[in-house]
């Protein structure tokens, strides 16, 4: 199984940012849009084994620049999607 480790990291960062942005919609559509926008700004980090995934995730967490890049990409995605939502219906 091939996994983009950044996808899991972006998921976690989005969950953390929900608390900081209580007035922003995080419905499935908006969250998917935020995730896609953030991931398109980051270099993918693919691994093909669980061992490789754990190693890559640990290395990413330890690299401050990667954390900063991920936070910036997610925040920009949240701000963009909150101003240009595509969702149908209510807020989450």
Token pair for 64: 């401050």
Q: What residues does each domain of the chain span?
A: 3-83
- In the block, which residue shows the tokens 């920009």? 76
Candidates 5, 1, 17; CA nearest to 73 is 17
- Give every CB contact of residue 19 below 8 A, 6+ residues apart in sequence: none
pLDDT per position as a tens digit, 20-33: 999 999 999 999 99
Beta strands in 1-92 (DSSP E): 3-4, 46-47
pLDDT per position as a tens digit, 32-80: 999 999 999 998 888 776 766 666 666 666 576 788 899 999 999 999 9
Token pair for 25: 């919609």
Q: Are 91 and 25 in contact (CB under 8 A)?
A: yes
Q: Tell me how far CA of residue 8 lies from CA of 12, 86, 91, in angstroms.
A: 6, 23, 23
Q: Which pTM value belongs to this model?
A: 0.81
- In the block, which residue shows the tokens 């999607």? 81
């Amino acid at each position: 199984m091939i996994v983009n480790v950044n996808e899991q990291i972006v998921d976690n960062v989005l969950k953390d940012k929900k608390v900081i942005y209580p007035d922003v919609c995080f419905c499935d559509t908006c969250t998917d849009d935020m995730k896609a926008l953030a991931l398109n700004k980051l270099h993918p980090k693919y691994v093909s084994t669980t061992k490789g995934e754990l190693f890559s995730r640990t290395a990413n967490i330890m690299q401050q620049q990667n954390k900063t890049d991920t936070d910036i990409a997610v925040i920009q995605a949240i701000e963009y999607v909150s101003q240009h939502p595509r969702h149908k219906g209510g807020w989450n």
